[in-house]
């Protein structure tokens, strides 16, 4: 079957556009054009080590974490993530998840993950947006790594507004107690991988990790598309 020809035919009827620059995609291009994808800054190992030490090492909750990219304001990755969060481009989330799987599979394999859990949205915010963007990233990642995605293990019980103007301590206090585990959830001896689109202070991931450890999880790990200051 000639898949490029079929894609070209459908692109003629319903053209696809880059999630970053809105340029029309070619038949062999998926979600993001090669030009935009090549401009996204990778997170170097030293940056990841530094961020782990600053955000997670003292809490003894997150055993390890990794992000693929660096989030830069008004750059390509921000446009891509915004297209997922606010324009209902679900395929963008799955695409980002597949990229994480392709680039980070060796690292994640060493963690021996049993379940992938997307960081949940509050039900009011989810109803307003219609979906949880991290769920689609988790789906793409889970498919790429052949690890089950567990969307209902934890819920966000506290509605939180944007935390962009808060410092680290304020964010930690604001998000405290925001999550709860599913009733009778038993994660004994299970290793969990939390997935988010962007990790900034790490406060949200830490709170999710606390709940999962209380439910018996062995170790909690975290992955995100990008790391931000």
| DSSP letter assigned to residue 215 | T
Longest dimension (CA), the chain: 56
Q: Could you give the CA distance from residue 63 to residue 137 in angstroms, rounded to a whole number?
A: 21
pTM of structure: 0.87
Write down all domains in the chain, each with its CATH number in brackets. Answer: 1-39 (no CATH), 40-227 (3.40.50.2020)
Range 55-78 average pLDDT:
94
CA angle, 67 then 101 then 130, to 5°: 80
Q: How confident is the model over 96-154, as pLDDT tens digits? A: 999 999 999 999 999 999 999 999 976 666 656 667 889 999 999 999 999 999 988 99
Q: How confident is the model over 181-190, as pLDDT tens digits? A: 888 999 999 9
Q: How confident is the model over 167-215, as pLDDT tens digits? A: 566 666 667 778 888 889 999 999 999 999 999 989 899 999 999 999 9
Angle between the N-to-C axes of helices 133-145 and 90-109, in degrees from 0 to 180, rounded to the nearest 10: 50
């Amino acid at each position: 079957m000639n898949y490029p020809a079929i894609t070209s035919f459908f692109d003629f009827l319903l053209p696809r556009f880059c999630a970053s620059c809105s340029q029309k995609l070619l038949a062999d291009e998926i979600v993001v054009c090669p030009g935009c994808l090549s401009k996204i800054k990778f997170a170097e190992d030293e940056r990841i080590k530094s961020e782990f030490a600053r955000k997670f090492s003292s809490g003894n909750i997150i055993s390890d974490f990794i992000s693929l990219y660096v989030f830069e304001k008004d750059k390509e990755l921000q446009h891509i993530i915004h297209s997922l969060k606010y324009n209902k481009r679900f395929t963008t989330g799955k695409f980002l998840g597949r990229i994480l799987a392709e680039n980070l599979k060796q690292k994640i394999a060493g963690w021996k993950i049993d379940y992938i859990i997307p960081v949940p949205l509050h039900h009011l915010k989810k109803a307003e947006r219609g979906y949880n963007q991290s769920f689609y990233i988790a789906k793409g990642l889970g498919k790429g790594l052949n690890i089950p995605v567990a969307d209902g293990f934890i819920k966000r019980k506290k509605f939180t507004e944007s935390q962009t103007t808060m410092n680290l301590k304020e964010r930690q206090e604001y998000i405290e107690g925001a999550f709860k585990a599913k009733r009778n959830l038993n994660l004994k001896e299970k290793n969990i991988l939390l997935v988010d689109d962007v990790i900034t202070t790490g406060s949200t991931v830490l709170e999710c990790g606390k709940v999962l450890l209380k439910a018996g999880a062995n170790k909690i790990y975290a992955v995100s598309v990008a790391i931000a200051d």
